[in-house]
Amino acid sequence: MEILKFSENNKVESLIKSSLQQRRLIPIIGSGFTRNETAKNGAVPDGKELEKIMILAICEHSSDISKSDFEAENYKFSEIADEYFKHVPKAEYKKLLRNRFTKVNIGSHKKNFLEVSWPYVYTLNIDDAIEENSKYTPILPYKKLYHKVSSEYDCVYKMHGDVSEEIKYEDIPNIIFSSDQYIKSLEGNSSILNLFQSDYISNNIIFIGCSLQDELDLNYAIKTINDDISSGTKKIFITTTKPTGLRKSRLERFGINIVIILDSYDEFYTKIYNWYKEVSVLELSPFVEYKNIEIPILENNIELNKEYIVDIVGSKSSERNLPYYNTRRELTKEIITSYSKESFTIVSGKSFSGKTFISKQLSISIVDKDTYLFPSSISLSNSELTDLSFIEQSVFIFDSSSLSLENAMFLDEIENNLGNSESYFIIFSNKNDSLFSSVVSRMTNQNYFDVSNKFNYQEVEVLNSKLSEIGLIESDNRKTLMDNCYRYNETYNYPLSKDIFNYSDNFILLLILLATDSKVYSVMISIFGISKKEVNLFISELSPFVELSDSRDIEIHQHSGYKIILNSPVWIFLILGEIYTKQGVKGIVEQISRIVSILVEKSEFRSIYGKIIGFDNLNQIFYNKNRGAANLIFEIYSALEVFLFKDQHYWLQRAKSTLYLKRKDKKMLQVAIDYAKKSYYDTDNIKLKINSTTTLALLYGRLANEQKYADLDILKDAIHWYHDSLQDRGVNKRYIDGMMNRDRNRNDLIELSKFLMKNGTKSFGSDILRKLDYLLTRVIQR
């Protein structure tokens, strides 16, 4: 533990300024911050004064208890609170709260301190001082967090509850004073405690006005962190007296590694504010590192370029260069010609279809505007998207996974801003993320582009000419980009990794998360109880396929000081496929069940598990050339039912898995129809309802085909759902075209239409005939 004097200490100034500039300093504010400040009727008490108030009230209402009893039994604050709630009438307790903890007005020094652009604030206080005197929105315990809360609000996390809520309601738990309330909070307050744990591990913390004497919930949260809390980050404790003996020992148990001794708190608040102002003057935009970046092309050198072609570190999305053989896709020219016609351009493709290469090519090819390229290894909040939308004459390019589902649903709100600033969003979408793709595909009428996972003939000609110049074998134009990478790996003998039998459960879990979202933040790592030591081992064994990185300024909403990022998509698909082959179904199912069972209770992470359980995602990440993933996927969905039976997205994905993996199994197709109907009829989400309609159409068309159109009711249902799925309500033209053109040699809609045109339609009523006429017209028009 390092003990520093605040006054005239250059080390203190340097430490705090640096942390403020990096936005890596999180304040935890205790009762000392508001002690003796003016409230509605009286002054705000600190913990010691509140103890005295409670003891007097207990003695007044109980003839058996005296003040000396508390001294004799050495009662702590939480134990005194237990007796207080037992003996003192609720009306008197609520009066105390109103008088001494509401309408709190703090001095100008403290108000300035709250004007510092803290990422967010934690407080142990129940009073309303912070929210009444600053921009911060109170976030309360005992409640499930809204998934956008960190990105849409300046948050003060009220770890011990909120006086306003306690006064207003009778039985809802709000305040955490007594030992019973502390114990209940350990489970009921898990959302905030999880965020606190993540911040405590990975960010710098500064305790202000805290005694840390009887904080049972904080003590529990810190003690249950499966990590060394005193290493890597700063835990700063502010005080006016030098800690010694047991006091020092207690602080060390909280991981405190720096104690700063003050002469005056007012001086401290003023200095912090002034340092912040100095730092903010020097601050650059958080987006500057993504602006007009240079992307050099590698020299004509076989060894340098071989790393790319065997995908040893994938498309190197974390690096700002391109290989010598990089070939401009024809789609790039189309996008450059078209992007300015609408605010949003969507570029959609399967995993490993070359989207990252195209995003880099666009960023250096658009020269009449500033370009900003956001790689898949970062994430942005909705607030930052709003800030971007006001930057003029710019093109913002988002590689796959840099935007979340929540971001996608927010885009409508900034479209007018983009129009006014004459700026544009180009968004790359991974088809495997069906929910995200469904949302963004409707952001544009004409600027939607599909990226093929194969080069066309002209592109292959250019590519192979450049590969031959370097001395590398040419690409096989019959194979996908991924299959060509497998071929290059085999040709140039690049090993996958060490023996996969040595992979622990946590290793497999991290691999699944990375394969799904390209990055894993420390908050997620903390939730799963994975230690930093284990993370470091993971990185050391799997580098350069994965790497450890500090979170960026624009990622502060993630409550994470660091993250693991994926450098090689093709490698992770290969390695997960190998793990599945050698370890079998059981281990994979257990880890996905573990992920979902934990995240399903945390609404702020719903989009993560929603992406994981998507059929297209599971089919991709467990791809194996020698062993299909069908059995594994069915086992996964079966195991997840106990956690997700109320989730309509889950039922739809389960239905899709049958549609694509059991196309000829009439019995399973019937079951899948029931799953899709549950998704359709039980959801209020219009986008999910549209997707369910499409899946029902495809399932009925598939079943009707397998039955040779013998079941009249199934045939009618197929016509009904095909008709509804092709309506224009919320479904854009390209989605309809996709259904009409889907694998024309196995297109059930076209086969059904051929059958009906050949065999007649006398058995149908007027409603079905009307729908059928519409369908046949659409098919003939193709």
pLDDT tens for each residue of 749-771: 888 888 888 887 777 888 888 88
- 153 within domain boundaries: yes
| Token pair 């068309």 in the structure block, residue | 701
27 and 143 co-located in one domain: yes
Rounded Cα distance, 567 and 299, in Å: 21
Range of the domain at 774: 662-782
> Does residue 467 lie in a domain region?
yes
pLDDT digits (tens, 9 = 90+) for 672-727: 999 999 999 999 988 889 889 989 999 999 999 999 999 999 999 999 999 988 87
Place of tokens 């933040």: 521
**Beta-ladder partners of 49:** none
Tokens standing for 560? Answer: 């994470």
Domain stop point among 618, 644, 670: 644
Grouping H, G, I as helix, E, B as strand and the rest as coil, residue 396 is: strand
3-state secondary structure of 24: coil
pLDDT digits (tens, 9 = 90+) for 378-429: 999 888 999 999 999 999 999 998 998 889 989 999 999 999 999 999 999 9
What average pLDDT does the structure give for the chain?
85
Residue 315 has a pLDDT of 43
159: Cα separation from own chain's centroid:
23
Do 629 and 673 reside in the same domain of the chain?
Answer: no
Asked if 194 and 601 count as a contact pair (C-beta separation under 8 A), the reply is no
Give the CATH number for residue 275.
Answer: 3.40.50.1220
Strand partners, 520: 564
**Exposure class string for 516-547: b at 16+ Cβ within 10 A, else e:** bbbbbbbbbbbbbebbbebbeebbeebeebbb
Confidence (pLDDT) at 680:
94
Q: Is residue 45 part of a domain?
A: no
Using one digit for the tens of pLDDT, what is the confidence trace for 347-360?
Answer: 998 877 888 889 98
One DSSP character per residue, 176-237 reads --SHHHHHHHHHHTHHHHHHHHHHHHHSEEEEES---SS-HHHHHHHHT-SS-TTSSS-EEE
- Is 63 contained in some domain? no
Which of 5-9, 41-45, 715-719 bottoms out in mean pLDDT, i.e. has the lowest? 5-9
User: How far apart are alpha carbons 267 and 107 in whole angstroms?
Assistant: 13
How far is C-alpha 403 from the geometric centre of its chain's CA atoms? 9
Could you give the percent of the chain with pLDDT greater than 90?
36
Indicate whether 468 and 503 sit together in one domain.
no
Cα 134 to Cα 156: distance, rounded to the nearest angstrom: 10
Q: Mention every residue, 6+ apart, whose C-beta is less than 8 A from residue 108.
A: none
209: left (phi over 0), alpha (psi -120 to 50) or beta: left
Residues 703 and 582 both lie in one domain: no
Q: Are residues 383 and 333 in the same domain?
A: yes
In a domain, 649, yes or no: no
Residue 26 clears pLDDT 60, i.e. is over it: yes
Q: Is the pLDDT of residue 732 over 70?
A: no
Cα 251 from Cα 258, distance rounded (Å): 10
531 and 472 part of one domain: no
Is position 657 within any domain? no
Which two structure tokens, joined as six digits, stand for 434? 């069906």
Helix (H) or strand (E) holding 702: helix 686-706
pLDDT value for 213: 73
Contact 244, 261 (CB under 8 A): no
Please report the pLDDT score of residue 73 as a whole number: 87
Which helix (H) or strand (E) covers residue 537, if one does? helix 532-542
Distance, in Å, from the CA atom of 103 to the CA atom of 125, rounded to the nearest integer, reads: 14
Residue 665 clears pLDDT 70, i.e. is over it: yes
Provide mean pLDDT across the span 442-456: 88
pLDDT digits (tens, 9 = 90+) for 470-491: 888 888 888 888 788 778 777 8
Cβ(158)–Cβ(613) under 8 Å? no
**621 vs 563: CA distance, rounded Å:** 20
Q: HSE on the CB side for 174, CA within 13 Å?
A: 18
Query: Hey, which residues does 121 pair with through a beta bridge?
Result: 156
Output the six-digit token pair for 700. 């009925």
Whether residue 22 is found in the same domain as residue 167: yes
Burial class of residue 43, CB neighbours in 10 A (0-12, 13-18, 19+): middle
Rounded alpha-carbon distances, angstroms, from residue 464 to 255, 313, 376, 461, 492: 58, 21, 28, 5, 17
- Do 137 and 238 have their domain in common? yes
| Domain membership flag for residue 502 | yes
Lowest mean pLDDT among 10-19, 143-152, 744-753: 143-152
Coil/strand/helix, residue 4: strand
Give the whole-angstrom CA distance, residue 345 versus residue 428: 9
Final residue of a structural domain among 455, 481, 507: 481
Q: Domain end: 615, 644, 673, which one? A: 644
> Residue 734: its pLDDT value, please?
53
**One domain for residues 469 and 569:** no
User: Pairing state of beta strands 2-5 and 258-261?
Assistant: parallel
User: Could you report the per-residue pLDDT of 71-126, keeping only the tens digit for each?
Assistant: 888 888 888 888 888 899 988 988 998 999 999 999 999 999 999 989 999 998 88
Tokens of 99: 């008088």
- Which of 425, 416, 421 shows the shortest CA–CA distance to 390? 421
* 613 and 536 part of one domain: yes
Rg (CA), the chain: 30
**Residues 614 and 434 sit within 8 Å (Cβ to Cβ):** yes
Q: In angstroms, what CA-CA distances link 345 with 340, 342, 424, 743, 752?
A: 9, 7, 8, 26, 35
CA distance linking residue 149 with residue 155, whole number of Å? 8
Query: Which CATH number is 341's domain given?
Result: 3.40.50.300
Report how far residue 108's alpha carbon sits from residue 262's, in angstroms, rounded to the nearest whole number: 19
Would you place residue 535 in the very low, low, confident or very high pLDDT band (cuts 50, 70, 90)?
very high
Pairing of strands 370-374, 42-43: unpaired
Q: Which amino acid is at 119?
A: P
Q: What are the φ/ψ torsions at residue 292 (nearest 5 degrees)?
A: 45, 50
Element (H, E) at 548: strand 546-550
Measured between alpha carbons, how far is 153 from 386 in angstroms, rounded to an integer?
13
Asked if 426 and 501 sit in the same domain, the reply is no
